[in-house]
Structure formats: structure tokens, C-alpha cells
């Protein structure tokens, strides 16, 4: 299944201006892709107030965080998670999007992204095959949110799932 097919029927227009081939390459190589300025401030306000039921809205206040999680894909399937920061970056401190990729017989690879309002992070979560020097291996990507040190962080999250692998 191609990235366009996975997102078909899910308002592909949200990815306007982003080349799907480049996004797919980033998802294959790193398991995630940052999409700067995907939403403008007015769209962020609409999402925050529940204008689109397809998004799960989260609000984290000081000392709160989201632990690492992993949506499970159907057998041989694919799950993409789109996370959009709705708050102004100056409204809180901390609260970075964090991910860890677990690889067999290797240390886990941590990654963190500090997003700005309207920026999105598209992540291929769950297990995926990665080509290594001695053949392919399975890597598992988990995601969460670092502790918010002060202020309030609003975000929206949407899950895209398929029964077929991303091709």
C-alpha cells in the first residue's frame, strides 16, 4: 500500500505542499517526518475547540507528560500517527515530542522534536523492517510527550491505519 492510498479518504489535502515520495522516504529511513507549518493559527484554534472529531485533543499542564506508547498495526499492516502542536511554543516549556526506536541487540535510539504552533510530526509507529548490515531486522517505534515544565500544551493527534504494509 502506498502512502497516498493509506491517507486516501482521510483528507489528503492536509499534506498540501509536501511531496509524498519524500515523506515516504523519511518514514522508511527514520520512522518519522516533521511537517513544518502544516496548520495555521486559526486552524489550530478550530482543532483545539473540537471542530474536527477525527483528531484526539490533548492538554498537558505543568508536570504532566504522556508515556511512551505504541499503536499496534494489524498483521503486516501499517500505522501512521500525525501529531500537531496547537499551542504557541511560548505558552509552555518542555513538552517535546519524544520517540524511541527499539532495535534488537542494539541500544534504543531516542529522538525528540520541539515543534512550533501548527507544526506536525508524522510517525510510522509499531514495528517495521529496517535494512541493516547483516540483513533486515525489526525496529519498533514508540512515541510520547516529555514532561511539561511550565504552562499548558495543547496538541491534536490523528491515527491512520492499514491492513497492508506501506510500499
pLDDT single digits (tens) 58-114: 999 999 999 998 776 555 567 888 899 999 999 999 999 999 988 887 788 899 999
Range with the poorest average pLDDT among 13-22, 28-37, 94-103: 13-22
State how many domains the chain has. Answer: 1
Per the structure, the complete domain to which residue 18 belongs is given by 3-162
- Report if residue 38 sits inside a domain: yes
For residue 11, list its beta bridge partners: none
- Report if residue 129 sits inside a domain: yes
Considering the chain, what is the average pLDDT of its residues? Answer: 83
DSSP 73-87: PSTT-EEEEEEEE-S
- Distance, CA of 139 to chain centre: 16
Grid cell locating 73: 498495526
- Report if residue 88 sits inside a domain: yes
> Is the whole model's pTM more than 0.75, yes or no?
yes
- Report if residue 79 sits inside a domain: yes
| CATH code of residue 67 | 2.60.120.620
- Report if residue 167 sits inside a domain: no
Q: If you average pLDDT over residues 121-138, what whole number do you get?
A: 82
Report the alpha-carbon distance of residue 138 to residue 133 in Å, rounded: 13
Amino acid at each position: 500500500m502506498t502512502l497516498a492510498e493509506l491517507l486516501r479518504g482521510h483528507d489528503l489535502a492536509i499534506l498540501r505542499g509536501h511531496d509524498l515520495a519524500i515523506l515516504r522516504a523519511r518514514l522508511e529511513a527514520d520512522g518519522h517526518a516533521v511537517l513544518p507549518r502544516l496548520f495555521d493559527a486559526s486552524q489550530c484554534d478550530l482543532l483545539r475547540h473540537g471542530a474536527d472529531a477525527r483528531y484526539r485533543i490533548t492538554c498537558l499542564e505543568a508536570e504532566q507528560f504522556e508515556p511512551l506508547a505504541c499503536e499496534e498495526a494489524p498483521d503486516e499492516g501499517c500505522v501512521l500517527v500525525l501529531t500537531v502542536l496547537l499551542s504557541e511554543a511560548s505558552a509552555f516549556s518542555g513538552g517535546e515530542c519524544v520517540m524511541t526506536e527499539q532495535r534488537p541487540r542494539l541500544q534504543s535510539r531516542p529522538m525528540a522534536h520541539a515543534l512550533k504552533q501548527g507544526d506536525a510530526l508524522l510517525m510510522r509507529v509499531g514495528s517495521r523492517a529496517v535494512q541493516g548490515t547483516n540483513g533486515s531486522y525489526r525496529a519498533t517505534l514508540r512515541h510520547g510527550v516529555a514532561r511539561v515544565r511550565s504552562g499548558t500544551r495543547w496538541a491534536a493527534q490523528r491515527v491512520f491505519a492499514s491492513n497492508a504494509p506501506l510500499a
